[in-house]
Amino acid sequence: EAGVAQSPRYKIIEKRQSVAFWCNPISGHATLYWYQQILGQGPKLLIQFQNNGVVDDSQLPKDRFSAERLKGVDSTLKIQPAKLEDSAVYLCASSHRDDQETQYFGPGTRLLVL
Amino acid sequence: DQQVKQNSPSLSVQEGRISILNCDYTNSMFDYFLWYKKYPAEGPTFLISISSIKDKNEDGRFTVFLNKSAKHLSLHIVPSQPGDSAVYFCAASAHGNKLVFGAGTILRVKS
């Protein structure tokens, strides 16, 4: 069974530029999550989708971050414009409807904002 | 607010000995706890979990203990192997809601 796929793996941009990350969850997993992991901290949930609907986006900085999950499969997370403090690893995870607490993570995208 | 705390940033253990990783939480609503392991340049992988109705769960070399009155859980790895060297994250959730992660503990198993 293929795991969670993410791209790109690394991205370097300058502040005020925009960037987008892509995630393909495990086949059949209805729930998809985006996390931000700043160096030295644990992952922090940004947004949770159930199929293509948003379940929780309470910690998503909506003035600059947006995410969508069209057709309930792939998802994209966008930052526009980026700030220095957005430098982090962005992790995508997915889980099965019947076991949402066991989440499977992708390798992450490491973002550096200069 | 840090609802899940891993107070030891790192731990070093000799191969074959026991590794004990600790985690404290403050939210009494948490009813499900998980441990994830993370290697460099990879995403976290699920290791073991425990529901609040239990005080112990075992899976091979890995055992998680939960002390609800102390709001404390620990992960025991026996015997420790060099391949166990990784960052270990404790996570908790309340009634199926979002996972809240600790900051992680770096485990180094020396051969």
Average pLDDT over residues A79-90: 97
For residue A9, which of A82, A81, A107 has the smallest C-alpha distance? Answer: A107
Share of chain A above pLDDT 70, in %: 99
Largest Cα–Cα separation, chain A:
41
Q: Answer whether residue A47 shows pLDDT above 70.
A: yes
Q: Is A47 on the interface with B (CB under 8 A)?
A: no
Would you report the helix, strand and coil content of chain B in percent, each value rounded to 5? 5, 55, 45
Q: Between chains, do A43 and B49 touch, taking CB under 8 Å as contact?
A: no
> What pLDDT score does B2 carry?
79
pLDDT band at B1 (very low <50, low <70, confident <90, very high): low
Cα four-point dihedral sign B38, B39, B45, B49:
negative
> What pLDDT score does A1 carry?
65
Q: Tell me the average pLDDT of chain B.
A: 95
> What pLDDT score does B98 carry?
87
Interface test with B, best of A54, A103, A104, A109 (most B CBs within 10 A): A103
> What pLDDT score does A101 carry?
78
Q: Note which residues in 33-52 of chain B have CB less than 8 A from chain A.
A: 34, 36, 41-46, 49
> What pLDDT score does B54 carry?
96
Average pLDDT over residues B21-48: 95
* φ, ψ of residue A34 in degrees (nearest 5): -115, 130
Instruction: Please report where in the chains the tokens 């979990």 appear, as a residue.
Output: B49
A8's tokens:
């790109």
Q: Between chains, do A42 and B89 touch, taking CB under 8 Å as contact?
A: yes
> How many Cα atoms occupy the beta-carbon half-sphere of A102 within 13 Å?
12
